[in-house]
Amino acid sequence: MIDKRSPVPIYYQIQSYIKELVENRQLKPGEAIPSERELSEQFQVSRMTVRQAVMNLVNEGFLYRQKGKGTFVSEPQIEQPLQSLTSFSEDMKRRGLVPGSRLLHFSVKASDAFLAEKLNIELNEPVYEIQRVRLADEQPISLEWTYLPAQLVQGLTSDIIKKSLYSYIEEKIQAKISHAHQVIEAAVAGKDEMEHLHLKKGSPILLIHRQTFLENGQTLEWVKSAYRADRYKYVITMTRGHHRG
C-alpha cells in the first residue's frame, strides 16, 4: 500500500506496487494490470497520478499498452553483460532459461571479398553459412547469421548447430576461443526480422556484428544478429580512472 505522508512521491509508490505484483507473480507477462480508474479508487488518488506511474513503467518497457484494450505486463528483458564473451546457450542457461535454435539455412559456399576480409581468409575459400532463430523458453529472441571458415571448423552438421556451436568448437575441435570485437547499433526490423521474430513493422531491434578470435589469433567467425529490443538489453559496468587535473 502507499503512504501519503511519505516523502517518496505517490506515483513512485504506485510504480513500486505494480512491480511488486509482477515480481510476486500475482501479475504475469501478458496479463492486464488494473485500470487507471481501479487504481485511482484503490489508492484514493487522482487518475493523473496513476497515469504518471503507469506511463513511467511503459517508458521503461516494464508494461505495454494496446489501444482500446488496456495496459499489460511485458515479457522480462534478458540482460547480457558486455564484460564477458559467452555463447547464446551459455547466456540463457545462466538466467534459468532453456536455450534453443530453429535452423533456417545451413550450407557451404565460397567466400566473397567481404567474408574473406572479415574471416581473414583467401577469396573463394569455403565458409559455412548458417542462419537460425535463437530461442529462450521456446520464444524467439534473435535472428542470427553466422559465417565460419570451413577448413578451421571441420565436421560441422545441422545437428551440432542446433545445440551449442561454442561447446563443439572448444570440446570437440579443442580450439580455445579468446575474445571478440562487437559493434551494437539500434535499427528497425526488416522483413526477415518481422517474420521470424514476430515483430510489427517499425519495431526496434538491436543489430549486432561480432568478429570472434581464437587464442592463436585466427578469426573463428563473423556473426550478424538481430535481437528483439523489447526482450534483450546489454549491461556494462564502467569504472572511472584516477586522472590529474
What is the arithmetic mean of pLDDT over 69-86?
A: 68
**Domain locations along the chain:** 10-73, 78-235
Confidence band of 6 (pLDDT split at 50, 70, 90) = confident
Spell out the CATH class of 78-235.
alpha beta
More confident residue, 33 or 2: 33
CA distance linking residue 198 with residue 220, whole number of Å: 30
Confidence band of 28 (pLDDT split at 50, 70, 90) = confident
What is the arithmetic mean of pLDDT over 184-197?
A: 92
Give the per-residue pLDDT at 104. 94
pLDDT tens digits, residue range 80-89?
555 566 667 6
CATH number of 10-73: 1.10.10.10
> For residues 112-131, b (16+ Cβ closer than 10 Å) or e, as one string?
eeebbebbebeeeeebbbbb
CA distance linking residue 127 with residue 119, whole number of Å: 9
Q: Which of 28-37, 52-61, 139-148, 236-245 has the lowest mean pLDDT?
A: 236-245
Closest CA to 187 of 209, 205, 202: 205
What is the arithmetic mean of pLDDT over 159-180?
A: 85
CA distance linking residue 139 with residue 155, whole number of Å: 29
What is the arithmetic mean of pLDDT over 147-169?
A: 88
What is the arithmetic mean of pLDDT over 46-50?
A: 90
Report residue 131 CA to chain centroid gap.
17
Closest CA to 188 of 172, 171, 173, 200: 200
pLDDT at 207 over 70: yes
DSSP 60: T
